[in-house]
Amino acid sequence: MTQDAPTLAPAAEKPKRPQGKFRTDIQALRALAVAAVVVNHLWPAALPGGYVGVDIFFVISGFLITRHLVDELRGTGRVRFAAFYARRMRRLLPAALLVSVVGLVASWFILPYSRWLDVAWETLAASFYGENWMLAAKSIDYSADHELATPVQHYWSLSVEEQFYLVWPLLLAGAFLLALRLRKQPLRLLSLVMGVVFAASLAYSVYFTATSKNEAYFVTTTRAWEFALGGLLAILTFALSGRGARAHDAEPPVAARRWMGALGLAGVAALVYSLATFSTETEFPGYMALIPVLGTGAIVLSGSVLGQSALPWVGFRPVQFLGDISYSLYLWHWPLIILAMPLLGRELGNWEKLAIAVLAILLAFLTKRYVEDPGRSRLFRNRKARVTILAGFGTMAVAGALSVAMVFSAGQAEKMEQEQLAQLAKSPCYGAASLLKGAACPDKYGPPDAQNIGKAESPYFAVPGCRGAADPLVVQGVSYLQECDFSRGKTDAQDVWFIGDSHAEQWKSVFFDLARKQQWKVRMSLAGGCSLADARRVAFMDAPRLDAGSQQRCLDWSRQVSDRIMKQRPDLVVASTFSAKETIDDGTGRDQLSQYHSSVERRVAKWAQNGSRVVILRDPPLTLGKSTPTCVLNNKGNALACATERAKALVADPTAQAAEKLQVRNLKVLDMTDQFCDDSRCYAVTGGLFVYFDNNHLTRSYVESLAPVFERRLLGLVQGA
């Protein structure tokens, strides 16, 4: 696996190889990068922009790997691909697999079975360096609360880097060969190729960040330009040193030293600004990533020209120590954070966080000494490169096999849990039944009797008897309409529409049970994250959602649904949305309740005035980050510690409130609040069941326990309309 090519130097004189001088400034940048990431994950409010530490690593990697590859092309006329990939495996794989396997096994014992599938699949993806694409597919918000993160979520950046290592040598060797065949100066063509990668990737990053920020954060194509900038800096250092003909220890002119010193200081200022002012609201990576990336590049270039850093503190021993262990520290800190809360059974205080930081540094030191260094210097050192590569893939396969075993274990645990729930359902105190008058149910808000928080409890499931509509409702190439005929030939079967977002979806089990009993013909249209309003959605769960594609999707969906309902005039429309956390903007500048009131009047009320009976399901109370399964598990089953004040959890549902205030005859609101709250608090566990599946959706088991109350109230509203 080698690529032969002539050298860059004239045939008469073989070029000198650069003196592999240790770069204390780059080691200090590594220390800053890992410290920023760790502090951001432990104390996000203290360093909101700490996530840019990853971008510092990307620039450094692009610079160092490009220098190594171009140096090899200059000196030998070829890139020994097998040797290159073997070195990468020896350097990175042992520590990465150690930490991922430890995290996997620890999760098996510490985390509930409901988390095992995510941990297993992400560990499998991380082991084969595809974690970033898996997270992008999930559109994970990396800066969100840690409660649903896995111990290997941070491997996304390692995945991006390894994908770079896979492609970059091929690209450089190909460009080098092409330059020689075209009789062009190789450095210039290499610079051109890297410049094209830089420009194309940056442009795509700006576009994709604006349209899908969470996904853009992870994908390799939005980050390639950061590596390319490091590569361009490497080419520039060759050019500045006379294409390698002069050693780097030549003293630069006084003016150059001043300019490079100022450039280094400007780079530091850019990094400090990014770390201190960037936040979860920053459009990142996109064009904002230019600030830390160019800042890092400025520091690297300054040190390359000067032969040393213009900053005196970079050689400070603790800084260099942190740079030495930066890779292992990055690996260890995250799983320690993720597993600490469920292990301790409480929220982490500052002392616990400090202990995690110290433990991570200790583990990183031990890993560096006993895993990283031996792996790089002794592991398969005298064996052929292909032996190292095969051994590397073998160990990756072992980690993958453990992940698959965990998948099967999760399936078995889920099956056992469902069997237990079937037995518990026979109790008169099961779920919402414990709230009935006269029910003698002690500790009805007490510890859960079952862990009804697995995948079977998700609101996202296919409804038997439903299929794609013959007249699809298409938005951006996707059909958002299903039809479900439960009439069994009944000639006067009622036509019913069931619409909304995922907060309507969570009611599917009880709604469709009722639809079957009533022999309804149902048309279902659900669009996640979209309200029924005829105004732009500008934020979701308090996070800005300004991408035009997403906004237009919601507008098109709600308009088409409304048009169909007005045209078809169904007997009944049942709707629910998360409008309490779906911020809209109709351009008037009014508060949310006023804007929603006007929108409901313009749209939903007209359905009722057009002859349809319309029922709005009032949204359940907010969890406020407390009434979640994770809170209960972290508190060792003390569910009352996760109850929330009613006044805080029961915020206004703008759609339901508008429907009530309009007092349109056929427009009603179904309020189930008393099934979640008493006069003072709203609860995480009721009748032995977890109420919430995650931080804003209900568990399927608890919803199904509400069936008698739900059916009685909904039919009462419909028949009384």
Residues 528-538 have pLDDT tens digits of 999 999 999 98
Question: b/e for 74-89, b at 16 or more Cβ within 10 A?
Answer: bbebbbbebbbbbbbb
671 and 618 in contact (C-beta within 8 Å)? yes
Instruction: Report strand pairing: 482-485 vs 466-468.
Output: antiparallel
Least confident interval from 81-85, 151-155, 242-246: 242-246
Residues 6+ apart with CB under 8 A from 510: 703, 704, 706, 707, 710, 711
pLDDT at 238: 84
Least confident interval from 178-182, 227-231, 278-282, 409-413: 178-182
SS3 letters across 330-365: HHHHHHHHHHHHHHHCCCCCHHHHHHHHHHHHHHHH
pLDDT at 227: 97
Give the HSE-up count for residue 105: Cα atoms under 13 Å, Cβ half-sphere: 7
Residue 276 — φ and ψ, nearest 5°? Answer: -85, -30
Summarize pLDDT for 398-456 with one digit per residue, the tens.
999 999 999 999 999 999 999 999 999 999 999 999 999 888 898 899 899 998 998 89
Confidence of residue 1 (pLDDT cuts 50, 70, 90): very low
CA 705 to chain centre: 32
Mean pLDDT over each residue of the chain, to the nearest integer? 90
Whole-number Å distance between alpha carbons of 97 and 450: 34
- Average pLDDT of the segment spanning 511-530: 96
Residue 82 has pLDDT above 90, yes or no: no
Cα Rg of the chain (Å, integer): 30
Q: Of the candidates 544, 551, 535, 552, which has an alpha carbon nearest to the alpha carbon of residue 601? A: 535
Q: Of the candidates 650, 638, 708, 707, which has an alpha carbon nearest to the alpha carbon of residue 676? A: 650
The residue count for the chain: 721
Question: b/e for 566-596, b at 16 or more Cβ within 10 A?
Answer: eeeebbbbbbbbbbbbbbbbbeeeeeeeebb
Whole-number Å distance between alpha carbons of 337 and 327: 17
Whole-number Å distance between alpha carbons of 599 and 597: 5
pLDDT at 240: 78
pLDDT at 251: 67
Least confident interval from 72-76, 262-266, 330-334, 356-360: 72-76
Contacts 24+ apart (CB under 8 A), 476-482: 476/549, 476/552, 476/553, 476/556, 480/525, 480/526, 480/527, 480/557, 480/560, 480/561, 481/523, 481/524, 481/525, 481/564, 482/523, 482/524, 482/525
Q: How many helices (H) and strands (E) does the chain have?
A: 26, 18
Q: Which residue has the tokens 């919601």?
A: 554
Confidence of residue 571 (pLDDT cuts 50, 70, 90): very high
Confidence of residue 635 (pLDDT cuts 50, 70, 90): confident
Whole-number Å distance between alpha carbons of 422 and 400: 34
Please, which residues bridge with residue 468 across strands?
482
Summarize pLDDT for 307-360 with one digit per residue, the tens.
777 677 788 899 999 999 999 999 999 999 999 988 887 788 999 999 999 999
Residue 177 — φ and ψ, nearest 5°? Answer: -60, -45
Residue 34 has pLDDT above 50, yes or no: yes
CA 549 to chain centre: 19
Residue 707 has pLDDT above 90, yes or no: yes
Contacts 24+ apart (CB under 8 A), 545-551: 546/210, 547/210, 547/211, 547/212, 547/213, 548/210, 548/211, 549/211, 549/212, 549/476, 550/211, 550/212
Residue 246 has pLDDT above 80, yes or no: no
Summarize pLDDT for 611-621 with one digit per residue, the tens.
999 999 999 99
Paired tokens of 589: 């500048």
54 and 274 in contact (C-beta within 8 Å)? no
DSSP annotation string for 480-506: --EEEE--TT-TTPPEEEEEESHHHHT
∠ Cα 340 687 647 (to 5°): 75
Q: Of the candidates 671, 561, 564, 567, which has an alpha carbon nearest to the alpha carbon of residue 616? A: 671
Residue 386 neighbours by CB distance under 10 Å: 13
Residue 545 has pLDDT above 90, yes or no: no
Residues 6+ apart with CB under 8 A from 317: none
Paired tokens of 292: 């830390």
Confidence of residue 250 (pLDDT cuts 50, 70, 90): low
Q: Residue 558: exposed, middle, or buried by beta-carbon count in 10 A (0-12, 13-18, 19+)? A: buried
List, in sequence order, the alpha helices (H) in 212-243. Answer: 213-216, 224-240
Q: Of the candidates 135, 116, 279, which has an alpha carbon nearest to the alpha carbon of residue 215? A: 135
- Average pLDDT of the segment spanning 5-29: 55
Whole-number Å distance between alpha carbons of 329 and 367: 9
687 and 432 in contact (C-beta within 8 Å)? yes
21 and 248 in contact (C-beta within 8 Å)? yes
Whole-number Å distance between alpha carbons of 329 and 588: 50
- Average pLDDT of the segment spanning 693-718: 95
pLDDT at 32: 96
pLDDT at 7: 33
Residue 267 has pLDDT above 90, yes or no: yes
The SS3 of residue 3 is strand
pLDDT at 47: 96
Instruction: Report strand pairing: 2-4 vs 78-80.
Output: antiparallel
Residues 6+ apart with CB under 8 A from 444: 429, 434, 435, 686, 687
- What amino acid is encoded at 263 in this protein? L
Residue 209 has pLDDT above 80, yes or no: yes
Whole-number Å distance between alpha carbons of 585 and 598: 12
